[in-house]
Chains A and B, each alone.
Chain A
Amino acid sequence: MTRLARSPTVLEAAPEGKAAPSATRDGVTERRPVVRVEDLTMVYDQKAGPVLDKVSLSVREGDIHGIIGRSGAGKSTLVRCLNQLVVPTSGRIEVSGHDIARLSGGELRRARRDIGMIFQHFSLMSSRTAADNVALPLEIAGVAKEEIRNRIPVLLDLVGLSAKADAYPVELSGGQKQRVGIARALALDPKVLLSDEATSALDPETTEQILDLLKDINRRLGLTIVLITHEMDVVRAIASHVTVLEHGKVVESGPTFDVFAFPKSPVARSFLSSIVAHDLPPQIAARLRPQSSLDTDPVLRIVFTGEAAHEPVIADLVDRFGVRASILHGRIDYIDERPLGVLSLLLPGAADRVPAVLAHLSFLGLHGEVIGHAVRSSAAGARRAAS
């Protein structure tokens, strides 16, 4: 599938883009950033404090950049600043060569045509069929009727919804509605796609299909995607980069793989631990305590990345430290196409040897951490009986 042909009207309307890939200091050409945000601050209400506090981030062409945060972290406002649905208090925003924060009127409207957007509740017009919903941005941009007629089947085909062209939104499932939303967002051949919790209203299976579609479009069209979400699973599934937002501040930002393997901020850790705790067997997860005590055993999480994955780690730990290790859980994720192995071990009666074990793991180039302390089952039983 080739990149969709631009219509002449849209081409005329598009201001000149920035110069093609710039050479970096070491002479290696790097993909240029298409979204650049500097010191973005948004204050709705002086008393309530800033919703966004000096947020800076940069998204390179072709990336899928996830912005994750709890509700109220400011992610909705952030994504709306990128197309000026929300006008920030201060800061610089550059999207696909447009100095967005400084534009208004006709210039802003033309710039917005380079930025597609999909919504949590799809935001489709109930009075238009799927095909006519997809036609809306083309009509708004003044594309000729005949051109629109030719483009719609291509766009619907791209999202796999050709059969539903004449259906009204009320006759479509949530996943199909979001497909229409995606086709509509792609109609003007944007440089960037903004996704505002696009899968939050969908069931897990449909979520996966929509995420696959987004990833597919990202690959086929080279489209840069900025997606906001409160679900780490969404980030894990498709994002190449992730920014963690907390109380309007960026607390962590980097390649998804690194953030998943070695989270630095407490927020990122807690987002991850929700996944990790979910991975542990329920009877262990229920007995996990944050502090060690006499009746607990440490639970160790070891992260394997790259070469170190070949080391015979468990056997090594048994030999060197005389610990017995029982495997609670193990999985290999492919994040951004790189394998990330995670192994959770219970080390019965080995609390005293944990520092030495961690030091050895670090020597092997592995990342190990204690994620909690499991109360021994017999002790837990005795305590329950006593209380």
Chain B
Amino acid sequence: MLSDLLPPALVALLLDSIGQTATMVAVAAVLSTLVGLPLGVLLVVTAPGQFLERPALTRVMGTVVNLIRSTPFIILMVAIIPLTRLVAGTTVGTAAAIVPLTIAITPLYARLAEAAMREVDHSLIEAAQAMGATPLQIICKVLLPEALPGILAGQTVTLVSLVGYSAMAGTVGGGGLGDLGIRFGYQRFMPEVMIAVVIVLVVIVQSIQMAGDWAARSVNHRIARGRERA
């Protein structure tokens, strides 16, 4: 069906682009989670009135996060080219695009995780302290499990944003679906390519959202559910 509308060469290109987008999104998502989740935890537990209160540290982290978040992605990508070269060894290609993607998305993920953990009732932390829990135990056994539905919802938002950001990765030769759409659909006046790209992106985003909602729902025990239906 696809080959009826698009020549085989373009189908191959489309499949390549899907692969590139998937690689960029997946690697950046894993890296941003590895960095963003601890950052989010630190933003919560070092805040004033919390059990590892370090107001100066919270302020520094908050400022850095806000700085990155207020820089447009396209500018950030160009601005950190020296860093990209240092980390990826090159400034063009999919691998090079992953560096700015990760740096741009980590603060967003950290903020979303922070917001989810702030929602955890302070009395639960108090209860854990009363049981003799260490700060690490409070984080691992109370804060993270209780905030998990919210953290997963944040993860979903992050992934969808990553798909959007990855479209701009063409600027540094990262390839991907956005790049394909611009180069063939726009610059070569091939509307069928543009439409195919948009359809694929819609399907990807929709799938991420549905999977994310399902995951968040399945770990959320704050809402009563009929056991027989579950």
Which A positions have Cβ atoms within 8 angstroms of B? 83, 85, 108-113, 115-117, 119, 121, 123, 125-128, 136-137, 139-141, 168-171, 188, 194
Q: Given A125-B145, A170-B221, A170-B223, A85–B132 Cβ distance below 8 Å?
A: no
What are 21 A-B residue pairs whose CB atoms fall within 8 Å in the complex? A85-B126, A85-B129, A109-B133, A110-B132, A112-B129, A112-B130, A112-B131, A113-B132, A116-B130, A121-B123, A123-B123, A123-B126, A125-B146, A127-B145, A127-B146, A127-B219, A127-B221, A140-B128, A140-B133, A170-B224, A194-B130
Question: Is B92 interfacial (CB-CB < 8 Å)?
Answer: no
Rounded to whole angstroms, the CA-CA distance of A119 and B131 in the bound complex is 13
New A-B pairs, 18, CB < 8 Å, besides A123-B121, A127-B146: A85-B129, A109-B134, A110-B132, A121-B123, A123-B124, A125-B142, A125-B146, A126-B146, A127-B219, A127-B221, A137-B131, A140-B131, A140-B137, A140-B141, A141-B132, A168-B221, A170-B221, A194-B130
Q: What mask results when residues 139 to 153 of chain B are scored 1 for a CB within 8 Å of chain A, else 0?
A: 001100110100000
Are A139's CB and B223's CB within 8 A? no
How far does the alpha carbon of A119 sit from the alpha carbon of B222 in the complex, in Å?
19
Out of A112, A119, A128, which one reaches B145, CB within 8 Å?
A128
What CA separation (Å) do A139 and B131 show in the bound complex?
Answer: 10
Interface residues in B98-138 by Cβ distance below 8 A to A read 121, 123-124, 126-134, 137
Main DSSP-derived SS at the B contact region: helix
* Chain B 204-230 interface 0/1 with A at a Cβ cutoff of 8 Å (1 = within): 000000000000000101111000000
Q: Which residues of A contact B224 (CB under 8 A)?
A: 170-171
Return the contact of B132 from the options A109, A128, A170 (Cβ within 8 A): A109
Question: Which has the most chain A C-beta neighbours within 10 Å: B123, B131, B134, B223?
Answer: B131
Q: Which of A113, A126, A137, A171 has the most CB of B within 10 A?
A: A126
**A-side contacts of B131, CB under 8 Å:** 112-113, 136-137, 140-141, 188
Residues of chain B whose beta carbon lies under 8 Å from any beta carbon of chain A? 121, 123-124, 126-134, 137, 141-142, 145-146, 148, 219, 221-224
Q: Which residue of A lies closest to B219 (CB)?
A: A127
CA distance in complex: A115, B142 (Å): 19
Contacting B222 at CB < 8 Å: which of A85, A139, A170, A194? A170
Could you tell me the distance in whole angstroms from the C-beta of B227 to the nearest C-beta in chain A? 8
Do B133 and A115 have beta carbons less than 8 Å apart?
A: no
Q: A125-B145, A170-B223 are in contact. Are A117 and B132 (CB under 8 A)?
A: no
* Bound Cα distance from A170 to B220, whole angstroms: 11
Determine how close the nearest CB of chain B comes to the CB of A218; give it in whole angstroms.
19
Q: Which B residues are CB-close (under 8 A) to A169?
A: 221
Q: Which residues of B contact A110 (CB under 8 A)?
A: 132
Judge whether A115 and B134 touch: CB under 8 Å: no
C-alpha gap A194/B129 in the complex (Å): 14
